[in-house]
Amino acid sequence: MINEEKAQEIAAGYIEQPEASVGTPKLKEIEDNLLIYIVPILISGDVRGEIHIHSETGENLGGAGCWLTIISKFIFFKKF
């Protein structure tokens, strides 16, 4: 089994945006006792996505992400 640091290193290799970095991986059990590391992708300290790393092989299993950062900088007020 790979450790958190190795999962973080592997995930960092897949990031192409210069302002993005990886956060601290969390180990999670998914289907059929498969353990994966969920490695958060950070932009300006905010989580904007994640990369899933297989805990045994180190393989990139995919992930999810939202790279739109502008919307989070605005606050909208609605009067009721």
- Digits of tens for pLDDT over the chain (80 positions)? 999 999 999 999 998 888 899 999 999 999 888 999 999 999 899 998 999 999 999 999 998 876 444 334 444 443 43
Q: Which domain holds residue 53?
A: 4-73
**What pLDDT shows up at residue 66?**
60
- pTM beyond 0.85, yes or no: no
In a domain, 79, yes or no: no
Tell me whether residue 36 is in a domain: yes
**Is 69 a member of any domain?**
yes
The answer as to whether 78 is a domain residue is no
Tally of domains within the chain: 1
- 33 in any annotated domain: yes
Q: How many CB atoms lie within 10 A of CB 47?
A: 12
